[in-house]
Structure 1
Amino acid sequence: MDVMSPLKPHPNSPSPTKKLLPFALYALLPIALLCFYFHPFHHLPPNNPTILTKEEEIVYETPCDYTDGRWVHDKMGPLYNGTTCGTIKDGQNCISHGRPDLDYLYWRWRPSQCKLPRFSPNTFLRLLSNKHIAFVGDSMARNQLESLLCMLATASNPNLVYRDGEDNKFRTWHFASHNISISVYWSPFLVKGVEKSKAGPNHNELYVDTVDEKWGSDLDHIDMILLSIGHWFLHPAVYYEGGLVLGCHYCPGLNHTEIGFYDVMRKALKTALKTIIERKGANGNGIDVFLATFSPSHFEGEWDKAGACPKTKPYKEGEKMLEGMDADMRAIEVEEIEAVKVNAKQIEGLRIEMLDVTKLSLMRPDGHPGPYMYPFPFANGVRERVQNDCVHWCLPGPVDTWNQILLEVIRKWSIQSRRKE
């Protein structure tokens, strides 16, 4: 006869585990809810495709105007913060620089016609596996790139594999988990240009019919390109076309015709898009092209005076209208992208889309570093004169929404491609 151990329950008696299980479940439930609240399960497993219902696929096939919407308060906040991501440019790291008001972190863009899901790093990494993504343009391109890197870093570690140029203007990161490379190319005009300097002329020089080969020569190795230009065209410049002086913008003392900058920006954009189509469309390799529309600044008064961008909340719907230069810059970009999209449909593997962020960015006067482009600017008291950045965006901040919209367009493209197979 077997002798029963005093440590084992009687076979006919209820198991202690079974007795304790309901209590354990009740005890764990509040903990699970708290974890879900602070760390929602918005990530998808890497390399695991998103499974969509037929209804969801229909939603993604329905066109959505992401420019039509409003900012609503969101208690979940951003995916990352200023201390957990090492790729943020120092001047946009508002949290570590001591910005005291943090309400600007708790807003999300709600389109009127559709839903804009929270950014899923794993979904982005899965959809762009084995691709090279390039952000090309001015500092707004860099601002968006660093936002994307920070969000992706919550799911996979980016390794800096290339760095060159003053202020790290040319860099490449690699995500080994999905074999994705993400690069930034400093090219504030997209075309060939000579930037003003202390040693040279006090104006920029642009060659509007010649692409900037710093990025143009790498097109064969780029699968997705995101262009962003605008603010640098406001600076004094002399323009060249066909080897001759075309005119200038704000060039007193020079014997050139003043022609402004609107038509020149249009010519530069035409040259860039034409080059991409010719070089990528001709060889059949294909490329996805995005153009981020003009991102408005929010200066109220002098740039070096306290309170240059003092707002701490988004504008309400109808409180701020898109007009003046902001509307004109966006209109040029919209017209050029729409014109190119007509021809792009005839080229296999070429997809061109506009990332229309002008209006939603206009509504966020609270999202700039302002004086917090420098660490603790008022540590020794409030000074009358202090340099302000009311152009770029704090990270985390409103620019994260640009990448949310980017992901949704890529996701729709993926669904449409699968249906064609």
Structure 2
Amino acid sequence: MMHSMTSTKRPFTSTQFGCLALSLLLLASTFIYIYSSFLSGFSTKFPNNPQILSKYRDSHFRQPSNATNNKIHILSCDYQRGKWVYDPDRVPRYGKDCPFHRSAWNCIKNGREDMDRINSWRWVPWDCNLPGINPEDFLNLMKDRRIGFIGDSLNENFLVALLCTLHVADRGAKKWKRKGAWRGGYFPKYNVTVGYHRAVLLARYEWQSSRTSNPPVQDGLMGFYKVDVDTPADDWINVPKFYDVLVFNTGHWWGKDKFPDDKPLIFYKKGDQILPHLNIRDGLEEVLKNMIPYIQREVPKRVLKFWRTQSPRHFYGGEWNKNGSCLLKNPLGEDQIEAWFNPKNNGVNREAREVNSIIRQSLLDSNIRLLDLTHLSEFRADAHPAIWLGRQDAVSIWGQDCMHWCLPGVPDTWVDILAALIKDSFEKG
């Protein structure tokens, strides 16, 4: 006998309908919780940009091939890798009237018209949100403490960005130039001092004329610069115990444009010339080999120590003294970075990565933290002073400035990263 395939459908009772509704509600709540947890890593401050969100979904953080244990990690976040996102609502923290400005970097005052656009780009790391510095909170954290920058003018560029940022929270800040500092600022409301000590090679060096040098220099040389690789420059030799935070750098002066063949660097150790003669890059390695142990030996353990990597140049069409230019209106694209900066391409801007490789290797066995700001800065070919230098004859004398940065500008992002690192370190004790 065939059984009937039809059956009588019974309507839901009110109890059954209530159970079904409750189940659906619990399922929806669970989905919302899981989805919101998934999105918790994304900043609620992002512009409504589907391209950025898709990039987060589709691209996990890629470790750079030359990464070391010194890479930046703050609260499980790597700030080195990310993307510049255009954010028209972004407002600079300070303007052209900051009392700590250096004229050549004050692009607003010098008449650059696109400064609003330059400062509308926000650095967004791939895997987290970069917190912008709160100047008042940071000064409270640093109360009764001191921050020192030691190095060349790119560290001064960094310093000015920090000084102008902190000035927003303490309008009574004063210029400060003691303890051998080249320049700096004092914030009386918080008893915080920030200073810069100019030491372009870190090691002591001095000019030796061909007429007075001993031993005499070879024919054809005007003289040479004697570099004592084992002796810190006078500008900072007496300050290691003065600061609570120190940021070192060197590298931008280690090239033939600063020390041409007729005025070379000659390296000495313990008063004797190092033989055979070292070329410039080998000399840099020798200086780092001596200065890094000196820092570890002479700077107290309580002092938080950073070493800033190279700030990339953006000369297009030639070197600074051969009509090199950077009159660009937008950041470089991801596909352009390697063409500009990979040493294999032998371009005019390759030095940043070359020097970084030497610095990373030299720091491997130290307790100095690497402050790697190079990659994020490589994109910003649009943000240099270029021809807006505050003097009519500046470009004819020095060429375009495609090395330093307009302020406000890219170094303000450096300040955000440094402030986050300091805060993280101090709070963890």
Q: Same fold (TM over 0.5)?
A: yes
Matched with 1:87 is 100
Map 1:15-414 to 2 at 5 A: 62-75=75-88, 76-82=90-96, 84-102=97-115, 103-157=117-171, 158-162=173-177, 170-194=182-206, 203-234=224-255, 235-236=258-259, 237-246=265-274, 257=277, 259-281=278-300, 286-300=302-316, 301-303=318-320, 308-321=325-338, 322-324=341-343, 325-341=351-367, 352-375=368-391, 387-414=399-426
SS in 2 for 1:208: strand
SS in 1 for 2:113: coil
SS in 2 for 1:188: coil
Shift of 1:163: 6.1
Alignment check: 8 A CA contact 1:130 1:178 kept? yes
Shift of 1:192: 1.0
Cα distance in 2 for residues equivalent to 1:219 and 1:163:
14
SS in 2 for 1:274: helix
Cα distance in 1 for residues equivalent to 2:289 and 2:373:
20
Cα distance in 1 for residues equivalent to 2:189 and 2:202:
31
% identical equivalent positions? 30
Q: Deviation per CA, 1:284-330: give whole Å up to 9, x if none.
A: 6x211111101111111253576711211111223212422321211
Alignment check: 8 A CA contact 1:211 1:271 kept? no
Cα distance in 2 for residues equivalent to 1:104 and 1:199:
50
Alignment check: 8 A CA contact 2:75 2:424 kept? no
* Alignment root-mean-square deviation, CA: 2.8
- Residue 72 and residue 204 in structure 1: after superposition, are their counterparts in 2 closer, same or farther (change >3 A)? farther
Letter matched to residue 330 of structure 1: N
Cα distance in 2 for residues equivalent to 1:196 and 1:88:
34
Shift of 1:172: 3.5
Letter matched to residue 369 of structure 2: E
Cα distance in 2 for residues equivalent to 1:388 and 1:70:
26
SS in 2 for 1:133: strand
- Residue 396 and residue 197 in structure 1: after superposition, are their counterparts in 2 closer, same or farther (change >3 A)? farther
More displaced 10-residue stretch of structure 1: 122-131 or 267-276: 267-276
TM-score in terms of structure 1 length: 0.71
Q: Deviation per CA, 1:67-105: give whole Å up to 9, x if none.
A: 1111111221311112x3011111111111111222212
Shift of 1:133: 1.1
Cα distance in 1 for residues equivalent to 2:390 and 2:223:
27
Shift of 1:198: 12
Letter matched to residue 72 of structure 1: V
Q: Deviation per CA, 1:250-308: give whole Å up to 9, x if none.
A: xxxxxx73x33223222222322212221234xx6x21111110111111125357671
Letter matched to residue 280 of structure 2: F
Alignment check: 8 A CA contact 2:210 2:224 kept? no
Alignment check: 8 A CA contact 2:74 2:421 kept? no
More displaced 10-residue stretch of structure 1: 360-369 or 154-163: 154-163
- Residue 287 and residue 327 in structure 1: after superposition, are their counterparts in 2 closer, same or farther (change >3 A)? same
Cα distance in 2 for residues equivalent to 1:238 and 1:115:
47
